[in-house]
Amino acid sequence: MMDWTDRHCRFFHRQLAPGALLYTEMVTTGAVIHGDREHLLGFDPAEHPVALQLGGSDPDELAQAAVIGAGFGYDEINLNVGCPSDRVQKGRFGACLMKEPELVRDCLAAMREVVEVPVTVKTRIGVDELDSEDFLHGFVATVAESGVDTFILHARKAWLSGLSPKQNREIPPLAYERVHGIKQAFADHTIVLNGGIVDVETAVAELDRVDGVMLGRAAYQNPWILAELSARLGLPAAGSRRAVVEVMANYARRHIENGGRLQQIARHMLGLFHGQPGARSWRQKLSQNMHLPDAGPELLFEACPSLPVSANKEEPATVEYGVDRAG
């Protein structure tokens, strides 16, 4: 989710599902240590609970970055061992690290040593020719020696050459049974399933087999699924899309007053009315105007479909909803 789940996207998603654990886009250790930390790591307190996802392969640098992240107030530090992109491989992190389970173990152990917040790992179920059940079980067993007990498993293997990142999300077949097998073998560990979950029914069904589900691009393309899933699980959820627009307009106003642009926020909201009457008009009006220099929060209201909320039968019943929560 690099370049996607920035702080504005996370604030938007928080309005949909107040209790969901949100993750940052992957940030490299070098950027955290040497870059503009406020720009890279700053976030609104309303985003809690939120996890910082790191990319790196040097235990000392990961430990240093974890300390910095914890200092910013993140609720969890996550190591990404699943991204297959070329630029990630060149930095010797992401999915290529699956070939070095002992190094992953040492990286996570170094991170756990220096922070009190939970340290977790996100990975694939295999990489290149290393895609057997035995390999995955051995990988998890080795990595677990670090003391990390939460594994987010993308239920596809990764090909490090020959496939683009997009193809790596689509071509390798999903193998949920591999993730189920890990949960059975490591019953005391928290196992979270990622990959291919595009509807509430699938997510709810998988929660009978694993401890959690992670939604990535499905939640970005159809954000309302976060509210639907939260409501289905009896958790706080947004009451209506219209209410979310109102909150985001106020958020955009503050951002613009501080020198920001509407486009930085509105680009994450294009899918809010996915599948609803007026969705196409919403996308078009935002896409055509949000980049203009004078675009302001009023554009969100102008683009908002006029269909009464009561006529929208896909809106879940209003559940506890609020944005002014202490971090």
Structural contact between residues 23 and 53, judged by C-beta atoms closer than 8 angstroms: yes
Structural contact between residues 76 and 115, judged by C-beta atoms closer than 8 angstroms: no
Q: How many CB atoms neighbour CB 90 within 10 A?
A: 10
Residue owning tokens 């969100």: 300
Give the list of residues 6+ apart from residue 252 with CB closer than 8 angstroms, or none: 262, 265, 266, 296, 297, 300
* Residue 146 structure tokens: 């670090």
**Residue in 9, 83, 107, 304 annotated catalytic:** 83
Task: Give the SS3 label for residue 291.
Answer: coil
DSSP 146: T
- Residues belonging to the chain: 327
- With CA atoms as reference, report the closest residue to 82 among 187, 207, 169: 169
The Cα 222–Cα 314 span in angstroms is 13
- With CA atoms as reference, report the closest residue to 279 among 302, 304, 257, 246: 304
Task: Give the SS3 label for residue 121.
Answer: strand
* Residue 283 structure tokens: 């996308």
Q: Assign residue 234 a region: left if phi > 0, alpha if psi is -120 to 50, beta otherwise?
A: left
On the question of a cis peptide bond just before residue 277, with omega within 30 degrees of 0, the verdict is no
Active site residue 83: yes
- With CA atoms as reference, report the closest residue to 121 among 248, 36, 14, 23: 23
Q: Which residues are catalytic, by number? A: 83
